[in-house]
């Protein structure tokens, strides 16, 4: 597995679940995070996602994406108070900064929601290999050609990522300046980086297509697979859990619990 991947090769309960069951659990995390508005309620899927990361041994991935998570959280706290009516006691009143309790709780809830979504997605990619992602898509009934394209792209992506790094180093060694202060100049300096990478990528398409067809690749005929995907009892449990959590969240929020 390439170092670009966030997948953690382990044998946890989450790793053993069918990729479709893991998608269901992602829904179980997303529905309460979406239906509730108050931070105390959204904190539950947030903590659940963190526990999922711990079970799936994906906490190390937090080191790679912590900046995104913190940035999204802070941006939410800054942006959302401007879109909510003031209400309740004043929490902050410093110069132009005037925040009421309602604004603060609303913004905190929205920030927790977006970070819960990101953490939930991180649990999924930490415990699901590229091959399993494609197998899950196939299991969900997506057409084989589409799944094949996604699988091939996932395999080619690290190669092109490495190529992009190599081209960047090579062009910088030739004197290419990509940190100009002038934004237009800076943007244009990326052309010598973009072209070699994608010309290399597209050069072999004809050959690769012929190689595929020579091996009998045909998207129109029904395919058989060496490894069929079994949906075990534990996977059905995960789906049942998702249904229960989703129904309960929607019912409670409809009654006004956990919402503003």
Q: Applying CB under 8 A, does 217 fall inside the site for other proteins?
A: yes
Residues 19-78 that bind other proteins (CB under 8 A): 30, 34, 61, 64-65, 67-72, 74-76
Site size for other proteins, by CB under 8 A?
Answer: 75
Task: For the CB of residue 93, give the shortest distance to other proteins in the complex, in Å.
Answer: 22
Q: Applying CB under 8 A, does 242 fall inside the site for other proteins?
A: no
Shorter beta-carbon distance to other proteins: residue 52 or 120: 120
Task: For the CB of residue 35, give the shortest distance to other proteins in the complex, in Å.
Answer: 10
Do the Cβ atoms of 37 and 109 come closer than 8 Å?
yes
Q: Which stretch binds other proteins (CB under 8 A): 38-46, 90-98, 198-206, 235-243?
A: 198-206
Whole-angstrom distance, CA of residue 153 vs CA of residue 156: 5
Residues 116-175 that bind other proteins (CB under 8 A): 117-118, 120-122, 124-125, 133, 143, 145-146, 148-150, 152-154, 156-157, 159-161, 163-165, 168
Q: Applying CB under 8 A, does 203 fall inside the site for other proteins?
A: yes
Task: For the CB of residue 120, give the shortest distance to other proteins in the complex, in Å.
Answer: 6
Residues 84-113 that bind other proteins (CB under 8 A): 110, 113
């Amino acid at each position: 597995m390439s170092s670009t991947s966030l997948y953690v090769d382990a044998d946890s309960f989450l790793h053993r679940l069918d990729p479709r069951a893991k998608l269901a659990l992602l829904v179980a995390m997303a529905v309460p995070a979406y239906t509730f508005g108050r931070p105390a309620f959204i904190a539950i899927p947030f903590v659940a996602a963190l526990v999922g990361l711990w079970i799936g041994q994906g906490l190390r991935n937090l080191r790679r994406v912590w900046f995104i998570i913190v940035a999204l959280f802070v941006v939410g706290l800054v942006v959302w108070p401007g879109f909510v009516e003031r209400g309740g006691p004043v929490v902050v009143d410093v110069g132009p900064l005037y925040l009421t309790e309602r604004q603060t709780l609303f913004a905190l809830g929205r920030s927790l929601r977006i970070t819960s979504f990101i953490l939930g997605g991180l649990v999924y990619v930490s415990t699901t290999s590229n091959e399993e992602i494609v197998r899950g898509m196939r299991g969900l009934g997506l057409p084989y050609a589409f799944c094949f394209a996604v699988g091939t792209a996932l395999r080619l992506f690290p190669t092109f990522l490495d190529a992009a790094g190599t081209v960047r180093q090579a062009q910088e060694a030739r004197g290419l300046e990509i940190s100009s202060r002038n934004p237009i100049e800076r943007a244009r300096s990326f052309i010598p980086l973009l072209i070699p990478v994608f010309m290399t990528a597209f050069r072999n398409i004809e050959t690769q297509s012929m190689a595929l067809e020579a091996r009998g690749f045909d998207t129109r005929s029904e395919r058989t697979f060496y490894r069929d995907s079994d949906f075990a009892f534990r996977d059905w449990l995960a789906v049942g859990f998702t249904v229960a959590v989703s129904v309960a969240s929607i019912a409670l929020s409809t009654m006004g619990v956990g919402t503003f």
